[in-house]
Amino acid sequence: MCVLTVSLGENSYDVLIDGASLSDIGAECALRGLRGQAAVITNPVVGSLYSARVLQSLIDAGNRTILIEIPDGEEHKNFLTLNTIYDKLIDAGFDRESFIVALGGGVVGDVAGFAAATFMRGIPFAQAPTSLLAQVDSSVGGKTAIDHPKGKNLIGAFYQPRLVLSDVDTLSSLPRREFIAGMAEIIKYGVIFDKAFFEYLELNSEKVMKMNRACLGHIIRRCCELKACVVERDEKESGLRAALNFGHTFGHAIETQAGYGKLAHGEAVAIGMSLASKVSLSLGHCDVTDVERISGALKQFGLPFDVPTYDRSQMLRLLTSDKKTRSGVIKVICNCGVGDYLVENLTAEQLLVLSGLEV
């Protein structure tokens, strides 16, 4: 088992990466003081595969358990789903000594984490991510949220888990499209932080796409190491952590405009990274070869990089409502070549022009 620690003082926690580790989640939670009454929050698809194993592990560790299934899909990451969770926790008599286990991908982790952050002003929770995107990115760092019709992740809180347990074997049951979508966040880490890691992805794309276990273990660990380093230095995104949003300003706008659930989050981020690299090119932070390498990597892993049809006025509104916008100016993450980044302050109109969406 690979054990990484996210060092945040009293909010520190371990990230465990291994195969077949879901069966140990009860014992791992107990080691970290999580015991008593536990709610496993999942969706029907993941729940049918793994909830029995997780519930039994928690019971074996001496916990009373309930299972809460929420609908699958980004379109259900909303207040209605959140209130359903609250109702079930209240009906089951949960208190501040109880805890939550988020079993699933990014949607489950975000909603369950936000429920934990806000129920009785905060109860502990553990992340058991089962998608590639969640294992390499969203489960680590304490970002929890639900969507609003006017924008993605606009309602949320920074709230760190007590434990992240990534069972690599769960990726074998992941739909192919979701696996590919998760590669967008992985490519992101190489583009903005680690040129050698980006080159590793270019050279090993065939093995990764065949789900070679050694390659998957390496990329999950490296992404978590990079994420942990960033979060330790900037827990609540006051500076450095904003770099992790490379591709997300455009990506969130594209995902929202398409309608939640139409584009996978990773697909939208991939398109966003392609656009962000063109903005970087226009500003002189990279050259054409870098842009081509980034789009080439996206293509290697079967990710989209062309912008779907969009409505200009809605795109401008969505870009301006981005969480990184201040007084109409957006903090945009640009890549410096491959392996580094910087931040530019731009308006939504400038983004459309610099990205080539408008001439």
Q: Is 252 a catalytic residue?
A: yes
Q: At what angle do helices 176-192 and 213-233 cross, to 10 degrees?
A: 50
Q: Which residues contact 359 (CB under 8 A, 6 or more apart)?
A: 353
The 10 Å CB-count burial string (b at 16+, else e) for 3-23 is ebebeeeeeebbbbbbbebbe
| SS3 (DSSP) at 174 | coil
How many helices (DSSP H) and strands (DSSP E) are in the chain?
A: 14, 12
Task: Name the catalytic one among 77, 265, 278, 293.
Answer: 265
C-alpha angle with apex 150: 350 to 129, nearest 5 degrees?
Answer: 100
**DSSP, residue by residue, 237-256:** -SSGGGGGGTTHHHHHHHHH
Helix 195-203 with 176-192: angle, nearest 10 deg: 140
262 is catalytic: no
Tell me, yes or no, if 210 is annotated catalytic: no
Helix 176-192 to helix 265-282 angle (10° resolution) is 30
9: left (phi over 0), alpha (psi -120 to 50) or beta: left
> Choosing from 178, 237, 255, 267, which is the catalytic residue?
237
Catalytic residue list contains 76:
no
Residue 345 known to be catalytic: no
Longest CA span, the chain: 63
Parallel, antiparallel, or unpaired for β 125-129 and 2-6?
Answer: unpaired
Active-site choice (69, 74, 178, 185): 185
**Distances in Å between the alpha carbon of 127 and those of 111, 138, 289?**
11, 10, 39
Report d(CA 346, CA 161) in Å as an integer: 34
Please pick, among 10, 121, 210, 326, the residue that the annotation labels catalytic.
121
Active-site option among 76, 143, 222, 293: 143
Catalytic annotation present for 74: no
**CA distance linking residue 325 with residue 358, whole number of Å:** 21
Q: Name the nearest CA neighbour of 308 among 252, 263, 264.
A: 263
Name the active-site residue from 35, 245, 278, 293: 245
299 is catalytic: no
Catalytic option among 248, 278, 285, 323: 248
Half-sphere exposure of 172 (CA within 13 A, CB side): 9
241, 278, 285, 293: the active-site residue: 241
- Within 159-263, strands assigned E span 163-167
Does residue 248 have an active-site annotation? yes
Of 35, 77, 88, 252, the active-site residue reads 252
Q: Which residues are catalytic?
A: 121, 143, 185, 227, 237, 241, 245, 248, 252, 265
